[in-house]
Amino acid sequence: MRVQNAPGSVFKMPDQLGDAELREDWYRGLSFFNSYPPITFGFSFAQLQDIPDVLVDPIWLCAEFHSSQRLQWFEAGVHFQYSDNGIVLTRDRQAKFAAANQGTLNWISTTLKPTKMAYQMGTLTIAGQFSSVISFPRSLTRGLRGTRLGL
């Protein structure tokens, strides 16, 4: 009996991710972006057209991080080292994926927080009166009402 691979699976072509896996990594990247502190967002797949342009690149990089991590896990499963009479064969693609993914992780840890804060601060609208200070009493006698002199 011949087993057929599911369409879009990594088992068909190990060096390419399928559509379902890329979709899952996009979803995981969007969820990671939404929940990354200090500000949480609520973007979803239904709102992909409504995501502001300044946030599209950070979301793509979060999705790229998850795709690269998937490739690392796959390569770790097929990673091997073979030695025969002084001839050494090492397949080390997992370490190269990890090194490439480290740059994305560094960008996320240093840039994602300020990017989200700058976007959120740009959407704030401040309303109210800021022209006077009303926390101090107008006169000392008003501030001392209800007190007695201890004479």
- CA-based max dimension of the chain: 106
Query: So what's the pLDDT on residue 70?
Result: 83
In a domain, 111, yes or no: yes
In a domain, 14, yes or no: no
In a domain, 9, yes or no: no
In a domain, 139, yes or no: no
Instruction: Give the structural domain span for 98.
Output: 19-123
Beta bridge partners of 91: 80
pTM above 0.85, yes or no: no
In a domain, 61, yes or no: yes
In a domain, 106, yes or no: yes
Residue 136 pLDDT level (bands cut at 50, 70, 90): low
- Counting the structural domains of the chain, the total is 1
Residue 130 pLDDT level (bands cut at 50, 70, 90): low
Instruction: Please state the rounded mean pLDDT for residues 73-96.
Output: 73
Of 67, 84, 83, 68, the closest CA to residue 24 belongs to 67
In a domain, 6, yes or no: no
In a domain, 73, yes or no: yes
Q: How does pLDDT run across 4-61, given as a tens digit for each residue?
A: 444 554 445 556 778 888 889 899 999 999 999 888 888 888 887 888 888 888 999 8
